[in-house]
């Protein structure tokens, strides 16, 4: 194998780098597409970590918004779990 690499003409490594770079770009594109489809860029997700104890640290409008976001997230969670159960039931 070492003999094979030694017999290659000069400048062959640039093509290897180009192939690796292309693979990295394709991988990054796939990762970004997955993230966009799975709501990984949702800025409001930060409100899920707050609870009633944090009310005094927030403005009243922000606290109401937090409650709204938490309800929406809980509904999304229920929908996903329901879809998984339905998919499991269809497989059987």
Over residues 56-89, the pLDDT tens digits come to 999 999 999 999 999 998 999 999 999 999 999 9
The rounded distance, in Å, linking the Cα atoms of 87 and 79 is 12
Q: Residue 10 phi/psi, 5° resolution?
A: -60, 145
Q: Residue 73 phi/psi, 5° resolution?
A: -65, -40
Place of tokens 């944090």: 54
Can you tell me the mean pLDDT for 36-61?
86
39 vs 64, which has greater pLDDT? 64
Question: Taking the mean position of all CA atoms in its chain, how far away is CA 66?
Answer: 22
Share of the chain above pLDDT 70, in %: 100
By residue count, the chain amounts to: 92
Take residue 74 and report the two structure tokens written for it.
């809980």
């Amino acid at each position: 194998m070492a003999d094979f690499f030694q017999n290659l003409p000069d400048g062959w490594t640039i093509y290897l780098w180009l192939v690796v770079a292309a693979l990295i770009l394709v991988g990054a594109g796939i990762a970004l597409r997955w993230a966009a489809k799975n709501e990984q860029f949702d800025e409001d997700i930060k409100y899920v970590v707050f609870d009633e104890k944090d009310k005094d640290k927030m403005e009243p409008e922000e606290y109401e918004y937090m409650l709204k976001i938490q309800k929406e997230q809980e509904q999304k969670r229920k929908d996903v779990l329901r879809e998984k159960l339905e998919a499991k039931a269809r497989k059987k």
